[in-house]
Amino acid sequence: MQYDAVAGGNVPAHAGEALLALAPGAGAIAPCRVENWARIPACHLAQADHWALRERVSELMREPAVQGIVVTHGTDTLEETAYLLDRTLAGGTPVVCTGAMRTSDHAEWDGSRNLTDAIRVAAAGASRGRGTQVVFSGRIWQGREAVKVNTVALDAFGAPFGGQRGTVTTAVSYAGPGSTSTAVAPPGLSARVALVPMVIGDQGEMLDAARATHDGVVIEAFGSGNLPPAAVPAIGRWLDEKKPVVLASRCTAGQVSPVYAFEGGGARTVAMGAIPAGPRTPSQARWELTIALSAGVPYASGLPA
């Protein structure tokens, strides 16, 4: 991105070659081949675009000459791309997603460091077999755990249901062994999954409105998975149509635990057939359900750490 006075804000500006040129020393870490797959804001990527990018990365992973892959990405939906790649791709080739919180003409531009760090991680032998990772501000996060936790900070990423996997300086250092999980490989992302937040006094109108056009729903509930009792019948209508309902929480930490048995309590909703989201934010749960439905497999409530 770069500031454009005519547009009145930041807009996409640089192709991959220019980004490398703005990151002195990055090319010395490993020989880099640039592929300009797209130059659009991250929030413009549709579900089909995410899948197309996943397919291209999969193709590159099968090329013997490719020892690592770096995906430069807008931070708005970087977590969706990282989750999709990490959850659906198998193989030893390291894949690293990174981006920047400042524009390339800003005095605090962080893109140079992040790109250099990402190339260093992708080229490291210790990164093989660790799946897709997110590299930001010298930190390494697992792709299926990383989320954007701050709208403006340079150190914008974290892992509410995971932990920092390593650090990058002039070398790559991992805190422990690689995280493993079985890849789910759908033929595409055909499923449509809604994400519906609960509000005080919710009567299920948004849940009912989404049911005709979506294959499943993730509900962003209160606390440990509780919701207003008037919304419960709408959940029943989803389940009656054999459409999965996943119960996530709006809390920034902690998982849904179905322990409350009052009307609208998580215990009763789970007893109806709703599925606890597991170690995922609501947006991650939505992506997991999309992948699962597209692959024709059950939603995975948990993943190996």
Domain CATH for 235 = 3.40.50.40
Residue 304 in domain? no
pLDDT for 305: 44
Q: Which residue range(s) make up the domain with 270?
A: 193-295
Q: What is the pLDDT of residues 188-242, one digit of tens each?
A: 999 999 999 999 999 999 999 999 999 999 999 999 999 999 999 999 999 999 9
Average pLDDT of 274-280? Answer: 96
pTM, rounded to two decimals: 0.94
One domain, residues 156 and 203 = no
pLDDT at 86 over 50: yes
Domain boundary among 143, 174, 205: 174
Q: What is the pLDDT of residue 179?
A: 74
Task: Give mean pLDDT, residues 141-146.
Answer: 97
Residue 271, CB half-sphere, CA atoms under 13 Å: how many? 12
180 assigned to some structural domain: no
Q: What is the mean pLDDT of the segment spanning 27-42?
A: 92
Tokens representing residue 16 in the block? 């991959």
By the 10 Å C-beta count (0-12 exposed, 13-18 middle, 19+ buried), 269 is classed as buried
**10 Å Cβ neighbour count for 255?**
18
Residues 10, 151: one domain? yes
Same domain for 212 and 94: no
288 falls within a domain: yes
Number of domains forming the structure of the chain: 2
| Integer Cα distance of 33 and 204 in angstroms | 51
Task: For residue 94, give the DSSP letter.
Answer: -
Query: What pLDDT score was predicted for residue 303?
Result: 60
Is there a single domain that holds both residue 21 and residue 151? yes
Q: What are phi and psi of 174, to 5 degrees?
A: -105, 145
Please report whether residue 44 resides in a domain.
yes
End of a domain among 174, 208, 234?
Answer: 174
Whether 98 and 154 share a structural domain: yes
Domain finish residue from 174, 203, 232: 174
CA dihedral (207, 213, 215, 219) in degrees, to 10, reads -20
Residues 12 and 57 in one domain: yes
- Rg (C-alpha) for the chain, rounded Å, is 20
Confidence check: pLDDT of 304 > 70: no
Q: Which whole number is the average pLDDT over 2-28?
A: 86
pLDDT of res. 224: 95
Whose CA is closest to 219, among 177, 303, 280, 300? Answer: 280
16 and 80 assigned to the same domain: yes
Do residues 97 and 217 both lie within one domain? no
- What type of residue is 304? P
Residues 84 and 141 in one domain: yes
Q: How confident is the model at residue 18 (pLDDT cuts 50, 70, 90)?
A: confident
- 96-136 per-position pLDDT tens digit: 999 999 988 888 989 899 999 999 999 999 999 999 999 99
Q: Would you place residue 27 in the very low, low, confident or very high pLDDT band (cuts 50, 70, 90)?
A: confident
Percent over 70 (pLDDT), the chain: 99
Please check whether residue 187 lies inside any domain of the structure.
no
- Nearest residue to 104 (alpha-carbon basis) of 245, 239, 4, 223: 4
Mean pLDDT (the chain, rounded):
94
In a domain, 29, yes or no: yes
Domain contains 50 = yes
Considering the domain boundaries, does residue 263 fall inside one?
A: yes
